[in-house]
A and B are shown apart, each in its own frame.
Chain A
Amino acid sequence: MIKKERHVLVIFPHPDDEAFGVSGTISSYIEMGVPVTYACLTLGEMGRNLGNPPFANRETLPQIRKKELQNAAASMGLTDLRMMGLRDKTIEFEDDEKMIQLVTDLIEDTNPSLIISFYPGLSVHPDHDATARAVVRAVRRMPESERPTIYTIAFANNTAEVLGEPDILHNVEAVAQKKINTLNSHASQTVWMMRDMEKRLAEKDPEALKWLHNERFFTYKWDQDFE
């Protein structure tokens, strides 16, 4: 059961961050008539997968990933995609206030009842954690009664120790094909993984189906604030 929202604001640093664990949720909201905005901070300029033989180089990769992101948005039915123009792997070195303001501006513009992002300190990639910090700090500055809920993704190896189990479970089986299309849209990042995954899905491998059909989030809890 996915709860109806006024507006959902998704904030991630890299094209494809949305694909693995959130694209089914995004597609579901859109099918429910809930407007969704996806702000993607960078174009994944520093991605390492160039292929061998290579299909891209360091300078062409951003344009390839931009196109993939636009295709992914189309696969999810998402029309409000915002590319924020920062550079991959530099988010944590940006001015903290500038990052908070970036999130505040997005909140003021979209008036979300729900924000989806990473969990600060438990999201492995420095860009993920930096994005998460900016989101939490921007929302913390709002009056409590006006704060949107924050659903977070956490996947550091010690996540269960710190946060326990995710409290929000979305079954997205009804939009599974859209999720597969979204994952495939990011071919420069996913083609190797999806080759194996589509085979397992065709064989109805229970673990693969569980991975595809279930999206899990930790609601951000202000009484367990990260700072």
Chain B
Amino acid sequence: MEIVKPEHLQELLDTFANKDVYIHLETTNGAYAAHFKEGFFNAGAFIRNVVVKYELGKVAGESPHRVGLKLPSGWIYAQGITHYTVDEHDRLLMCGLDPDGKLAVALEISETPFTY
């Protein structure tokens, strides 16, 4: 993965618009957050292989960026996106890595299902 180039990421988001795509969306503080810091309120969310069709995808802001997808009757967005790549299966993988290299957020878009 590389550091996001917003213009390039915008072009990639455009290529997935208006077609059925599989989404992976994840936010996390890690399962140990409340163990290492007692009282920490640990929250996160995870969806994988949900199919949507978005009409507009946008990258916004300076790094860490926000990425939003406008659906016919709803929204998906992720904030904190720092890195991206298009892998060998033509999937657009975006994530937010903290300075230690720990993933805090991921948003991935694919025309084919992600593995389990």
Contacts and interface: CB of A to CB of B under 8 A. Distances in A.
Interface stretch (B12-20, B50-58, B59-67, B97-105): B97-105
B84 to A, nearest CB: 9
B8 to A, nearest CB: 17
Nearest to B84: A57
Best-buried of B30, B95, B103 by chain A (most CB within 10 Å): B103
Interface in A144-196: 156-157
A207 interface: no
Contact of A52 (B24, B85, B100, B106): B100
B41 interface: no
A52 B31 contact: no
Given A50-B101, A89-B46, A58 B108 contact: yes
A58 B102 contact: no
Given A50-B102, A89-B46, A59 B31 contact: no
Nearest to B83: A54
Given A54-B83, A54-B97, A156-B35, A59 B102 contact: no
A7 interface: no
A127 B99 CA distance: 26
A59 B83 contact: no
B7 interface: no
B31 A125 contact: yes
B93 A49 contact: no
Interface string A43-65: 00010111111100111101000
A48 B30 contact: yes
Contacts of B102: 48-50
Interface string A180-220: 00000000000000000000000000000000000000000
Interface string B81-116: 001010100010101011111111010100000111
A157 B38 contact: yes
Given A52-B101, A62-B115, 15 more contacts: A48-B102, A48-B103, A49-B102, A50-B95, A50-B103, A51-B97, A52-B98, A52-B99, A52-B100, A57-B83, A57-B87, A58-B106, A59-B114, A60-B87, A124-B31
Interface string A84-95: 010101000000
Interface string A122-134: 0011110000000
B28 A46 contact: yes
B33 to A, nearest CB: 10
Contact of B28 (A48, A53, A87, A156): A48
B1 A57 contact: yes
A18 to B, nearest CB: 17
Nearest to B34: A124
Best-buried of A89, A126, A156 by chain B (most CB within 10 Å): A89
Given A49-B102, A52-B101, A89-B46, A57 B95 contact: yes
